[in-house]
């Protein structure tokens, strides 16, 4: 299978980087508990310029775990989490598991943020948390920054800006955190190329982080993850270059998709493209791609905003070629449509 379903970076590390990493792994003391604060790792993240130097961090086993930490801290019975929908599915699942009421506010038809609807929902529900994926998954777009700023000022509760695709979009609220007392920025290394290593981090004003630290399990980031990410971030340039390649490919993929009559791609600031099938049936296109050994994500749910929608992660050039060729075959040949 050509795997284009999970926003993974398709590129491997250069050989000399793998060698350097193996050397370091050799020396790891696996009989010892990991550093609960992951101090060296936090310093690496600062040194790579990913957060302002004065900021503290809370780490999670992927940002999924941090969403859980946030909801365990401020959610729970009688509390609400407000999210524009469609968005990242884990927000709703973790809300359920933590007994936090989930309130979904529809995005506009073009998947932009409906600022008025969000603000009136904030006034009505007084949510403990609002979560905004920036850029959004599965739509790929960045919400309007001024709309977000206005929303933040309307919220009594916490506003989480989930910047999982930061390396592709470049847009961030991380340098503005001192302007607000209720904003948390959430990041993950998964989409930039370390999905298997499971590391997410969040930063905010220290008062918030102190509370989240009470909920985080002390040894959630294992020694191999700490060391691997410390090592990887010394080579952050490699990941930036890979991300740039992915973004160039994304532009090409979007352009070719737009040229197909039956396909409407949505503009993306991430490493994937959401697209809607016109006359053709998304389910059939998805199955047809599978027969070509290409796996993307089927988001089609009848009667929802994602009706007839599919999502493709941007892969290597030859993978994208295979995907685009199969797609154009499927949407232009008569037999596949009937």
Ligand X SMILES: *Cc1c(COP(=O)(O)O)cnc(C)c1O
Q: Can you give the binding site for ligand X, defined by CB under 6 A?
A: 7, 62-64, 88, 133, 137, 162, 164, 188, 190, 195, 200
The alpha-helical segments, DSSP class H, found in the chain are 15-26, 39-47, 63-74, 89-97, 115-125, 145-154, 166-169, 206-215, 223-234, 236-258, 282-291, 317-332, 334-337
Instruction: Find the shortest distance in angstroms from Cβ 186 to ligand X.
Output: 7
Pick from 1, 2, 3: nearest CA to 195:
3
**Of 64 and 249, CB closest to ligand X:** 64
Of 84 and 288, CB closest to ligand X: 84
Q: Write down the least CB distance from residue 46 to ligand X, Å.
A: 20
Using the minimum distance from each CB to ligand X, give the nearer residue, 90 or 103.
Answer: 90
Q: Indicate the residue among 7 and 121 with the shorter CB distance to ligand X.
A: 7
- Which tokens sit at 101? 């009421």
Q: Minimum CB separation from ligand X for residue 281, in Å?
A: 26
Distance in Å, CB of 94 to ligand X, minimum:
11
In the bound state with ligand X, the residue whose beta carbon lies nearer, of 18 and 89, is: 89
Residue 81 phi, psi dihedral angles, 5° rounding: -120, 130
| Nearest-angstrom CA–CA distance, 261 and 259 | 6
Return the number of the residue (51 or 322) whose C-beta is nearest ligand X: 51
To ligand X, the closest distance from the beta carbon of 218 in angstroms equals: 20
Cα distance between residue 250 and residue 244, in whole Å: 10
For residue 295, list its beta bridge partners: 3
Cβ 156 to ligand X shortest distance, Å: 24
Encoded tokens for 127: 């949510």
SS3 letters across 222-279: CHHHHHHHHHHHHCHHHHHHHHHHHHHHHHHHHHHHHCCCCEEECCCCCCEEEEEECC
* Cβ-contact 172, 166 below 8 angstroms: yes
């Amino acid at each position: 299978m050509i795997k284009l379903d999970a926003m993974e970076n398709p590129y491997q590390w250069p050989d000399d980087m793998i060698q350097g990493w193996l050397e370091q792994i050799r020396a790891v003391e696996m009989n010892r508990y990991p550093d609960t604060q992951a101090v060296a790792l936090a310093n690496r993240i600062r040194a790579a310029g990913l957060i302002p130097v004065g900021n503290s961090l809370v780490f999670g086993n992927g940002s999924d775990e941090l969403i859980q930490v946030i909801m365990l801290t401020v959610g729970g019975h009688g509390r609400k989490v407000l999210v524009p929908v469609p968005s990242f599915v884990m927000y709703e699942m973790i809300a359920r598991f933590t007994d936090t009421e989930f309130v979904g506010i529809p995005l506009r038809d073009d998947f932009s943020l409906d600022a008025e609807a969000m603000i009136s929902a904030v006034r009505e529900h007084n949510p403990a948390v609002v979560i905004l994926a920036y850029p959004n998954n599965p739509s790929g777009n960045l919400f309007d920054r001024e709309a977000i700023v206005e929303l933040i000022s309307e919220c009594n509760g916490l506003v989480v800006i989930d910047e999982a695709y930061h390396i592709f979009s470049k847009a961030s609220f991380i340098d503005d955190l001192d302007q607000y007392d209720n904003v948390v920025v959430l990041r993950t290394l998964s989409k930039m190329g370390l999905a298997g290593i499971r590391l997410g981090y969040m930063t905010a004003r220290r008062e918030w982080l102190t509370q989240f630290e009470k909920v985080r399990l002390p040894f959630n980031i294992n020694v191999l993850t700490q060391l691997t990410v410390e090592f990887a971030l010394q080579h952050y340039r490699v990941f930036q270059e890979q991300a740039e390649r992915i973004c160039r490919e994304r532009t090409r993929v979007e352009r070719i998709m737009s040229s197909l009559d039956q396909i409407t791609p949505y503009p993306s600031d991430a490493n994937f493209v959401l697209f809607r099938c016109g006359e053709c049936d998304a389910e059939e296109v998805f199955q047809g791609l599978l027969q070509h050994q290409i796996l993307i994500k089927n988001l089609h749910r009848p009667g929802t905003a994602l009706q007839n929608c599919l999502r493709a992660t941007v892969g290597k050039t030859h993978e994208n070629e295979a995907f685009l060729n199969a797609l154009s075959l499927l949407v232009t040949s008569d037999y596949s449509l009937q």
